[in-house]
Structure 1
Amino acid sequence: MNILSIRKIDIANFNFVTEVQIILEWVDERLVFKHLNKDIELNAISNFIPWLPELEFLGDGMAMSEVQLRRSRLTVNRQSDPLPDNDQEVQEALVFEGKKNPLILKRKLTITTTCQFDLGAFPFDTQVCTMITRLSKVTKEYVKLEPLGRGVHFLGVRRGLEYQLESEVMIRKNDGNYSGVEVKLTFYSLSMFYIFSTYLPTLIIVIIVYSILFYPLTAFEERINVGLTGLLVEATLFSQVSSSIPRTAYLKLVDVWFVYCVISLFAVCVVIVVIQYLHTEVGDINSKKSANNGLMRMNKFDQAVLNRLRAVKVNYICRIVYPVISAIFLIAYAVIGYKKSDRGKELYFANAFTGEESLGN
């Protein structure tokens, strides 16, 4: 199997499209050939159709793949000398035995194969997709698929729009009484696009909102306006990104990132309101006309000063606690993302070499 290109990886529909060339070689002892050339391209068979192996292509869960035949060519590979002349033949001809001269069938196909993507680590995920090729209508007691050499080769450009093909491997994979092979393709996500289009803008918004903790406490309107604007922009980005990727019942890494950003921005807005409440809980320390008693004025004045000191203290604590919590989250996020991105690789090695013989990397 020569994989010519990976035309499309459709995450939304859980499939991928490949252009492949299948080369089948076998011998048929029932046949004899006449006038074979040493150049295999001159030995095309078109005047009759011998027995041809029928193949089925399956994806994950043994789901049938959609196959479009682009080109098919059947030839004979001359590997022996012709048989001695037979005087009983009316017409003299060079005759070759079928058991010594194999038939070669080359087909170019476009295959759409299902793949159960695990998007838990998206957009830092590693995907392992399988493509099973199985003989049909004849059991393995009569015909078996035996890979030639490594069995699978990739001839196209490995780097795609969203994923890069890291490795391909073929293993023998029988399905009951039918012989077959399985090709495992390992894709690594190209996450740089999401880093610059999603993570970096949202991180900048978080930093901008964090900076309002350094505004004067008396500038409440400016502080709350910046905080609410950042929260609304973050929620809008979250909605846009979520609509462009498949919806899953579990949280993806990108979802976790947005959830943390939204919660942290909301927490800053709440803290700003609490600080403003502490700052103005008793009233303005310059306003002393409401009380008739001097002692009352003094107690109110002291309480206002105390509340302002508390507001300053809360604001100062938030300046320290907020970046510390963010740093802890970033470290944990990076560690979990790294482990999840390697999970596909671990599954690949766990499945590729258990019970079946590997034929290539």
Structure 2
Amino acid sequence: MLGAVIELKKDKWVLYNPLHNEVYEIKSTLPVGRQYWTSTKDGKEHLLTFTHCKSNEEFECSNGTCLPWNVRCNGLVDCLDKSDEDECNQLAKDKGYSVHVPPPPLANEKSLYIYYNVTLFNIYDITSIKRSIRIQAEINLSWHDKRIQFWNIAKSENINMKDIWKPELTLIGNAYPGYKITMDEDEFHESCKSDPESFEGKDSRIFSYTDPYMGTFIKGEDMKILYTFKAIIDVPCRFDLRRYPFGKQSCNIAAWIENAEDHYNYEFVYKGGENKIVELIYNGSKDLGEYSFVSANHMVDESGAILITIHLKNLYGFHMLNSFVPSVLICIISYCTLVFSITNFSDRVMVSLTALLVLAALFSQSSNTSVKTSYYKLLDIWYVVLIFYSFMIVIFNTWLHKFTSIEKRKEKESMLNFKDDNNEEINTIKFESVPQWKKKLMFYNFIAIVFFSLFYALFIFFFCLAAAEII
């Protein structure tokens, strides 16, 4: 009130301006601070503040006490009359503002920039049978809404989400195409507040000289709204288990805004800089049951969605002790029948056939307990080849016995034919040298030893290459 005069008349303080006809009066000891003055014209009360505090540096409590501006609306009571926490966090919105319509882009932006950041807190145990991972994560989004003025707002102060437009995130597991992830209310938490980064550096507060509460406001283009989404998410994953129980897996989650119209132009921008693949820092447990955590990253993909990818590695220690080592030992036992006495058919076949049956039982047990797929896994190929290997040894031992029986019968028939002619000649033939068929038998057995050794060694070699993803 430029040119106004305050006078004490009787027991009232009177405020008037010679240039105007309106007069205000109040009953008070001193006309300072924040008080209601009554108009003598219409009898209405008007809240007025008369201050002696330093302009733009101090705030005046209703009782006239001066305090630094940084205590205004800081969540703590500093004035004795608690007036420093009055009229805080008020939103002045443009006429026609709608919480269903996204804000327009700023003058220097080609589209509405929504800045994002992702934090990964924890990953729970993963099993191949469930083919999903359970993670605890946080997604932070911040944006400008120039349709709003933020009055008397403090750093990191909560904003009622019902009063403003905010992004409604849709999460898609195993993108693309993927599965929309639905969550119960107790599995996620969301909040909005003033972005602390907006209060760093240059002070963008504007002091109002018409507000009796001596308020300040920040324009929407100068302050970002920070939206935080924290959740425990069950993410379905399409694991490629062809190299199971070896190999590496990845699972991804896509996030985009559901309440922005298809034609609306918005763009996710990473807070840390350019939109490129950014590694996520994960300090949780890396031993995740059947898998081990390798790395995690996020990026904005070609469709404009935030894509979070988690890379895992299969842990095969359990299968080494329960599948590979026992089956290797059984195959060695089956192979050892080749060094048994050639004429000891019963032992050869009994041992090799027993090994074959044990391998078949191990394969059946593994199939029932491991993850089921529509394609062959590396573990299935392992058992199938070893069963075939033992089966071929059984077939060879059976053939060897059959060959021995035929040659023995031929030898016996030959001996009977010569018996009547010259018995002495037969004895001479018997002791002159080892029969040719026995030499062939020993040669065939030697070939089998070499063949099955090379076959087994080559199979192990190529299997290891496949497990290491070299081939």
TM-score range, shorter chain: 0.7 to 0.9
Partner-residue secondary structure (3-state), 2:268: coil
Match of 2:192 in 1: 74
Q: Which amino acid aligns with 1:129?
A: C
* CA deviation string 1:122-167 (max 9, x = no partner): 2222223221111112147443221222484434223322222322
Partner-residue secondary structure (3-state), 1:67: coil
Partner-residue secondary structure (3-state), 1:66: coil
Q: Verify the 8 A CA contact 1:282 1:304 in the aligned structure 2.
A: no
CA RMSD for the aligned pairs? 3.2
| Farther-moved stretch of structure 1 (226-235 vs 54-63) | 54-63
Distance of aligned partners of 1:226 and 1:47 in 2 relative to their CA distance in 1, 3 Å threshold: closer
Looking at structure 2, the residues matched to 45 and 307 of structure 1 have their Cα atoms a distance apart, in angstroms, of: 97
The match for 1:158 among 286, 289, 313 is 286
* CA deviation string 1:7-44 (max 9, x = no partner): 24343343322221111222222233343334x2xx12
Partner-residue secondary structure (3-state), 1:113: strand
User: Once the two structures are aligned, what percentage of the paired residues are identical?
Assistant: 20
1:335 aligns with 2:465: yes
Partner-residue secondary structure (3-state), 1:91: coil
Looking at structure 1, the residues matched to 309 and 344 of structure 2 have their Cα atoms a distance apart, in angstroms, of: 60
| Farther-moved stretch of structure 1 (267-276 vs 133-142) | 133-142
Structure with greater helix share of residues: 1
Distance of aligned partners of 1:31 and 1:295 in 2 relative to their CA distance in 1, 3 Å threshold: farther
1:173 Cα offset (Å):
2.2
Partner-residue secondary structure (3-state), 1:105: strand
1:181 Cα offset (Å):
1.7
Looking at structure 2, the residues matched to 192 and 201 of structure 1 have their Cα atoms a distance apart, in angstroms, of: 13
| Farther-moved stretch of structure 1 (214-223 vs 317-326) | 214-223
Counting only pairs closer than 5 Å after superposition, residues 115-194 of structure 1 correspond to structure 2 as: 115-138=237-260, 139=262, 141-149=264-272, 150=278, 152-175=280-303, 179-194=304-319
1:90 Cα offset (Å):
4.1
Counting only pairs closer than 5 Å after superposition, residues 206-217 of structure 1 correspond to structure 2 as: 206-217=331-342
* CA deviation string 1:66-91 (max 9, x = no partner): 3354322322135145321332x343
Q: Which amino acid aligns with 1:67?
A: M
Looking at structure 1, the residues matched to 402 and 444 of structure 2 have their Cα atoms a distance apart, in angstroms, of: 12
Looking at structure 1, the residues matched to 417 and 142 of structure 2 have their Cα atoms a distance apart, in angstroms, of: 107
Q: Verify the 8 A CA contact 2:142 2:227 in the aligned structure 1.
A: yes
1:323 aligns with 2:323: no
Looking at structure 2, the residues matched to 180 and 267 of structure 1 have their Cα atoms a distance apart, in angstroms, of: 55
| Farther-moved stretch of structure 1 (6-15 vs 108-117) | 6-15
Looking at structure 2, the residues matched to 174 and 31 of structure 1 have their Cα atoms a distance apart, in angstroms, of: 32
Partner-residue secondary structure (3-state), 1:145: strand
* CA deviation string 1:262-286 (max 9, x = no partner): 0010011111112222333354899
Structure with greater strand share of residues: 2
Higher relative contact order (CA 8 A, sep 6+): 1
Q: Verify the 8 A CA contact 1:170 1:184 in the aligned structure 2.
A: yes
1:203 aligns with 2:317: no
Looking at structure 2, the residues matched to 202 and 166 of structure 1 have their Cα atoms a distance apart, in angstroms, of: 30
Match of 1:85 in 2: 208
The match for 1:294 among 409, 412, 419 is 419
Looking at structure 1, the residues matched to 286 and 130 of structure 2 have their Cα atoms a distance apart, in angstroms, of: 21
Is there any run of 5+ residues in structure 1 with no aligned partner, and where? 342-361
Looking at structure 2, the residues matched to 259 and 301 of structure 1 have their Cα atoms a distance apart, in angstroms, of: 46
Looking at structure 1, the residues matched to 346 and 163 of structure 2 have their Cα atoms a distance apart, in angstroms, of: 84
Give TM-score scaled by structure 2 length. Answer: 0.63
Max Rg structure: 2
Looking at structure 1, the residues matched to 302 and 164 of structure 2 have their Cα atoms a distance apart, in angstroms, of: 25
Partner-residue secondary structure (3-state), 1:144: strand
1:109 aligns with 2:231: yes
Distance of aligned partners of 1:127 and 1:295 in 2 relative to their CA distance in 1, 3 Å threshold: farther
The match for 1:254 among 355, 372, 379 is 379
Q: Verify the 8 A CA contact 2:161 2:192 in the aligned structure 1.
A: no
Partner-residue secondary structure (3-state), 1:156: coil
Match of 2:403 in 1: 278
